[in-house]
Amino acid sequence: MTDIRADAEIISFSTYLGDTRWRHDKPSDQVITTGIKKKSVHWLDEGSIRSCDEASYVV
């Protein structure tokens, strides 16, 4: 990072869209959670704001 731009400011946000279910379709102490994570990164580049969005799957 210091080789590219020492004064860069990066802000990162994450959002999840998910679902949690009982593991054996009945209430118990075991669940399965699946989801999609969307990450949005923003940085200042020569006076303008740039951004990058990426999605990843979480199981």
Closest residue by Cα to residue 17 from 2, 39, 1: 39
**pLDDT above 70: residue 35:** yes
Q: Quick one: pLDDT at residue 17?
A: 82
Where is pLDDT greater, at 50 or 55? 50
- For 11-32, the pLDDT digits (tens) are 667 777 888 899 998 999 999 8
Other residues' Cβ atoms within 10 Å of the Cβ of residue 45:
9
Residue 17: phi and psi, rounded to 5, are -120, 115
